[in-house]
Amino acid sequence: MRITLVGSRHFGATTLDMLRQHGVEIARVVVADREDRLAAAAKAAGIDVVVQADPKLVVASEIAEGTELIVTAHSHARISKEALATARLGGIGYHPSLLPRHRGIAAIEWTIKEGDPIAGGTVYHLADRMDAGAIAAQEWCFVKKGETARELWERALAPLGQKLLAEVIDYAKTHHALPAKPQDEQFATKAHALSPH
């Protein structure tokens, strides 16, 4: 399984480690910032690194040739339709909510703000609309009383993301396909960025 990883920061770097342990070929790492932690980890592992021309968009030429699956991990860029079309299985990403609830950049903050007793993570198919693609894997967890968004992410949602991405990649290696269940639009909510108080 040949993968192009698009991402950033700690979650991108831990996803890189997880992929390396799962016996897939990481053809390339795509980052928005040359100085990013994921870029450094990829370079140290001898993996080709490409910096996006546009930090908000990944284009087809930035995806490694022969990529079977694009994986995003903490990427705030949209993967263009043309880029997705270069990969046989398209692309998947991890979103720290029970999609279709809390689509958007501030999913965990909205989970806390809304007082949700349950949170969760979703591995979903990258699609034209943000966080709206079919669900490949999903799992829930409890939210502790008084927990901050950062604490919830570090305690439960980041590790859950690694676990779900690993499960979907193992499934794809075995079945040469991805599980897909459409999101139920009637439950969709938007988690736009919260302005600081």
CATH 3.40.50.170 boundaries in the chain: 1-88, 94-161+181-190
When the pLDDT of each residue in the chain is averaged and rounded to a whole number, the result is 95
Q: What pLDDT was estimated at residue 196?
A: 62
CB 13 within 8 A of CB 31: no
Q: What pLDDT was estimated at residue 119?
A: 97
Q: How far is residue 108's CA from residue 52's CA, in Å, rounded to a whole number?
A: 26
- Does the domain spanning 1-88 belong to CATH 3.40.50.170? yes
| Domain 94-161+181-190: top CATH class | alpha beta
CB 83 within 8 A of CB 164: no
Q: What is the pTM of this model?
A: 0.94
